[in-house]
Structure 1
Amino acid sequence: MIERRSFDSLGGADHGWLKAKHHFSFSSYHDGLRMGWGALRVWNDDSIASNTGFPPHPHADMEIITYVREGAITHRDSLGNEGRTEAGDVQVMSAGSGITHSEYNLESDTTRIFQIWIIPDERGQAPSWGAKPFPTGERSGRFVPLASGFKEDADALPLRTNARVLGATLKAGETATYALGKRRYAYLVPAKGSVELNGLKINERDGAAILDEPVLEVKALEDVELVLVDTAP
């Protein structure tokens, strides 16, 4: 089963400095049919104006993954962590028992990110944060784990949940496959470009909710950059 969720059908908000699209219910946008997908709870497509951002605010018991599509995001938190994550790279904040953080675009141009929240397997663990570069050339033609709760994905940022966040870049006409385990939930979004997913066309920034598809075959209709989340129910 693959359900295409067109970009135009997504909920959203325009705060001036922040233009957001929500693949699932979030903040003032509520859709009882889109409360999550497996353990995936939030996927926000955010555009953040230059020299603006999210002021300090708290979180608890959530795995929060930020995939930077354009520009860069600067992170600070109550643990003393500071970091700047650039386009194509990823940061992971495990909110655990509680953490306060800010995320600012200190660049001269708009920063665009995917913010992905996944429910952790356990509550109340110590909070943490980390970031890592993932050069797009190293995921050319294949899906590469960017953040993962699986020990075998040693090069990925760690997650405290039975899930993976993967990235891939494909040239027009190229195909990549991903084996999805039984009863696994997957959600695919092309950050750039359009694809055919098991024969179904998915346009740039559309979402594809996937269940009971043993193998995902993605064919690039143009040069594409993809983000895929694979979670437990």
Structure 2
Amino acid sequence: MIDIRPFASLGHANHGWLDARHHFSFASYHDPDRMGWGKIRVWNDDRIAGQSGFPPHPHRDMEIVTYVRTGAITHQDSMGNKGRTGAGDVQVMSAGTGVVHSEYNLEDEETTLFQIWIETDERGAQPGWGQMPFPKEEREGAFQLLASGSEDDGALTIKADATIHGATLPPGGSIVHAANPERHLYLVSSAPVTINGVEAGPRDGVAITGEERIEIVAGDESAELVLVDAA
């Protein structure tokens, strides 16, 4: 099953400094048919104005992945961590027993990012945070593992049965991803693509299950792909 959730159908909240699209129910946006996808609970497509951002606020028992599309975001938390994550790079936070953090765009330009929440497998665990650079030129035509529930695969670590992948495709390029039909995959592309022949537009959500093989083909534009594979 491949279900396209058009970008125009996503939840929308514009706070001036923040223009957000919600793939799943979040804050004041509620759709009983879009409460999550497997263990994926939140996928927000955020545009954050320069010199603005999210002031300190708490989380607990959730795995939070931030993929920066353009610009940069600066993180600071109650564990003493502070770091700047730039375009194409990723940060993860395991909220565990509780953490307070802020996320500010300290740049003069707009920052765009995906904020993805995945239900944790370890409630009440020690909280943690990490970030890694992932140069886009190293993942052209192939998915690169960005984060996973494994501690020994060279990617960022989360406390969930899930993997997060990134790839880029040139115009007309293609990529094949082997899938477990029992799992829940969710894909967002920056440009038009087809997935097993099904067309998806820029920043549409693509919910996938029941498939053993996924072939993604770019259209006339280069495409940046983010794929989450979760239980």
TM-score (norm 2): 0.98
Q: Distance in 2 between matches of 1:215 and 1:61?
A: 32
Deviation at 1:194, TM superposition (A): 1.3
Other structure's SS at 1:8 match: helix
Equivalence map 1:122-201=2 (5 Å): 122-151=122-151, 154-190=153-189, 192-201=190-199
Q: Distance in 2 between matches of 1:196 and 1:216?
A: 10
Q: Once structures 1 and 2 are overlaid, which stretch shifts more, 8-17 or 173-182?
A: 173-182
Other structure's SS at 2:172 match: coil
Equivalence map 1:81-92=2 (5 Å): 81-92=81-92
User: Deviations for 1:82-135, whole angstroms, at most 9, x for unmatched residues?
Assistant: 000000000000000100000000001110010000001120000000000000
Residue in structure 2 matching 1:206, options 196, 204, 207: 204
Deviation at 1:150, TM superposition (A): 3.1
Q: Distance in 1 between matches of 2:151 and 2:201?
A: 33
Confirm whether residue 12 of structure 1 aligns to residue 28 of structure 2. no
User: Deviations for 1:133-173, whole angstroms, at most 9, x for unmatched residues?
Assistant: 00001111011110111356x12100110000100001011
Other structure's SS at 2:116 match: strand
Other structure's SS at 2:120 match: coil
Q: Distance in 1 between matches of 2:83 and 2:63?
A: 18
| Counterpart code for 2:198 | L
Q: Distance in 2 between matches of 1:216 and 1:139?
A: 17
Task: Kindly indicate whether the alpha-carbon contact (under 8 Å) linking 1:66 and 1:92 is maintained by their aligned counterparts in 2.
Answer: yes
Deviation at 1:12, TM superposition (A): 1.1
User: Deviations for 1:16-43, whole angstroms, at most 9, x for unmatched residues?
Assistant: 0100000000000000000000000000
In the TM superposition, structure 1's runs of 4+ consecutive aligned residues that sit over 2 Å from their partners are none
Confirm whether residue 23 of structure 1 aligns to residue 35 of structure 2. no
User: Deviations for 1:45-72, whole angstroms, at most 9, x for unmatched residues?
Assistant: 0000111100000000000000000100
What is the percentage of aligned positions where both structures have the same residue? 59
* Structure 1: gaps (5+ residues): none
Which residue of structure 2 lines up, in the alignment, with residue 33 of structure 1? Answer: 33
Q: Distance in 2 between matches of 1:150 and 1:40?
A: 17
Q: Distance in 1 between matches of 2:151 and 2:64?
A: 19
| Counterpart code for 1:19 | D
Other structure's SS at 2:160 match: coil
Task: Kindly indicate whether the alpha-carbon contact (under 8 Å) linking 1:177 and 1:215 is maintained by their aligned counterparts in 2.
Answer: yes
Deviation at 1:203, TM superposition (A): 1.0
Other structure's SS at 1:225 match: strand
| Counterpart code for 1:202 | A
| Counterpart code for 1:224 | A
Task: Kindly indicate whether the alpha-carbon contact (under 8 Å) linking 1:182 and 1:214 is maintained by their aligned counterparts in 2.
Answer: yes
